[in-house]
């Protein structure tokens, strides 16, 4: 029986060429797997047919938009996941759901190997292959660009020679990855980190320089998950999509960062994540209102470690699973409404309201009605500073003895 290889298929030049390239290099049959995580563009049926026209023996397509938003983006939101305090894991959070469908397709069609289009320099090769090893340990992995010498110039020449049904061009200098959680752009002139991004880099966001009139939005959360926008019920996918549109129109969510890659090099990346950044801003503020102080402090540490694990391709790891349990526990009271003003590239919190808030007006006010017993403060300060006071006395005595 001929070996079969499952290929993560986007419908673009590189993965379309990879179908025939892999078949010729290995003698195996290629099964194309396309997973829709909200990247937009062509329909799944168009992509499926192109895969078959390019030589795939089977084409497996999956509309995973709701699954991605609910099971992958929402955990990232609850963790307030921002790698290097800036990047909302646009690509990293999408790889596990793609891996899940790749392994399912391999098992369905009897494939022995999974293939992806990643280079040997990037993070995604790790994310794909660690995920495959975890969910399908019996499967092997190959990468045409890394393992079979499929460079872009060779891909263009191959597509033209084979008359493949795809548009080939050498003009677009960028490498782009996008989904409903955001958009990532790299390479080309952006590799010179002194170069500023040009207008053609952006697609999800309008320029914040000349914004339209400010847009006020109220986001309702239940246990850390957005459930309504301006009083209208939404699914997680709908919440992200609506805020992508509204925050994107105001230029919210543009990120330009020199990022520490997992493989040890630094890489300049441009991201657009209007919906993700607006939701994270709102969610973080609602946590400020509803989560107890010490729990909130520790959650920041947990959230950072969660973010690093996901960035490093450890979505399916035992530690990630344990951190999920802690984060989920912290979200039981993160319910209420946050009002945001979207304007000029910013998502600014202007109002907070929650039935489970720990904010007590009568304790916080300085006006008549204050219920805080200020006489307690003197004794509290004495006890709170006692250990430092004792240590300071010791140090002074030691200094005098010298």
317: DSSP letter: S
Annotated ligand binding at 385? The verdict is no
Is residue 339 flagged as an active site residue?
A: no
Annotated ligand binding at 11? The verdict is yes
User: Out of 48, 65, 95, 346, which one is annotated catalytic?
Assistant: 95
User: Out of 91, 115, 124, 254, which one is annotated catalytic?
Assistant: 124
Nearest alpha-carbon partner for 182 in 124, 254, 74: 254
Annotated ligand binding at 387? The verdict is no
Annotated ligand binding at 392? The verdict is no
Annotated ligand binding at 158? The verdict is no
Is residue 147 flagged as an active site residue?
A: no
Annotated ligand binding at 175? The verdict is yes
Annotated ligand binding at 16? The verdict is yes
Annotated ligand binding at 293? The verdict is no
10 Å Cβ neighbour count for 58?
18
Annotated ligand binding at 322? The verdict is no
Per the CB < 8 A criterion, the answer to whether 324 and 75 are in contact is: yes
Strand order in the sheet with 113-115: 58-63, 29-36, 4-8, 113-115, 140-142
Annotated ligand binding at 204? The verdict is no
User: Out of 146, 152, 175, 305, which one is annotated catalytic?
Assistant: 175
Tokens of 162: 């084979």
Is residue 95 flagged as an active site residue?
A: yes
Annotated ligand binding at 375? The verdict is no
- Measured CA to CA, the distance from residue 127 to residue 174 in angstroms comes to 21
- Measured CA to CA, the distance from residue 53 to residue 40 in angstroms comes to 21
Per the CB < 8 A criterion, the answer to whether 22 and 45 are in contact is: no
| Beta strand 336-343 pairing with 346-353 | antiparallel
Annotated ligand binding at 282? The verdict is no
Integer angstrom CA distances of residue 222 from 334, 336, 389: 6, 7, 45
Is residue 175 flagged as an active site residue?
A: yes
Annotated ligand binding at 122? The verdict is no
Nearest alpha-carbon partner for 280 in 312, 313, 247: 247
- Provide the annotated binding site: 8-16, 87, 117, 119, 123-124, 127, 175, 259, 271
Residues carrying an active site annotation: 14, 95, 124, 175
- Provide the annotated binding site for L-aspartate: 119, 123-124
């Amino acid at each position: 029986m001929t070996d079969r290889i499952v290929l993560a298929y986007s419908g673009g030049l590189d993965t379309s060429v990879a179908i025939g390239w892999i078949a010729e290099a290995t003698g195996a049959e290629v099964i194309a797997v396309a997973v829709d995580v909200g990247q937009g563009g062509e329909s799944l049926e168009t992509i499926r047919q192109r895969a078959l026209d390019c030589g795939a023996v089977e084409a497996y397509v999956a509309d995973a938009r709701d699954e991605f938003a609910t099971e992958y983006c929402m955990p990232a939101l609850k963790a307030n996941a921002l790698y290097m305090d800036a990047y909302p894991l646009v690509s990293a959070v999408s790889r596990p759901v793609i891996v899940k469908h790749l392994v399912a397709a391999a098992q369905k069609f009897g494939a022995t190997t999974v293939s992806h289009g990643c280079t040997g320099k990037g993070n995604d090769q790790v994310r794909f292959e660690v995920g495959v090893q975890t969910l399908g340990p019996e499967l092997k992995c190959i990468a045409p660009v890394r393992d079979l010498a499929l460079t872009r110039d060779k891909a263009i020449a191959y597509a033209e020679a084979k008359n493949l049904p795809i548009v080939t061009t050498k003009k677009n200098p960028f490498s782009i990855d996008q989904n409903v959680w955001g958009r990532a752009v790299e390479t080309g002139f952006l590799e010179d980190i002194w170069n500023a991004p040009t207008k053609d880099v952006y697609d999800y966001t309008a320029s914040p320089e000349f914004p339209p009139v400010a847009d006020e939005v109220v986001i309702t959360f239940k246990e850390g998950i957005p459930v309504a926008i301006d009083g209208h019920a939404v699914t997680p996918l709908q919440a992200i999509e609506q805020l992508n549109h509204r925050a994107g129109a105001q230029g919210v969510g543009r990120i330009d960062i020199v990022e520490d890659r997992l493989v040890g090099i630094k890489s300049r990346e441009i991201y657009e994540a209007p919906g993700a950044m607006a939701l994270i801003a709102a969610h973080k503020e609602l946590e400020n209102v509803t989560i107890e102080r010490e729990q909130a402090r520790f959650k920041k540490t947990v959230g950072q470690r969660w973010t690093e694990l996901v960035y490093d391709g450890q979505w399916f790891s035992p530690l990630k699973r344990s951190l999920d349990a802690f984060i989920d526990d912290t979200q039981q009271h993160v319910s209420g409404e946050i009002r945001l003003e979207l304007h000029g590239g910013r998502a600014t919190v202007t109002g907070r309201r929650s039935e489970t808030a720990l904010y007590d007006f009568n304790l916080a006010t300085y006006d008549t009605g204050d219920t805080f017993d200020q006489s307690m403060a003197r004794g509290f300060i004495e006890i709170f500073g006692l250990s430092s006071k004792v240590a300071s006395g010791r140090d002074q005595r030691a200094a005098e003895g010298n």
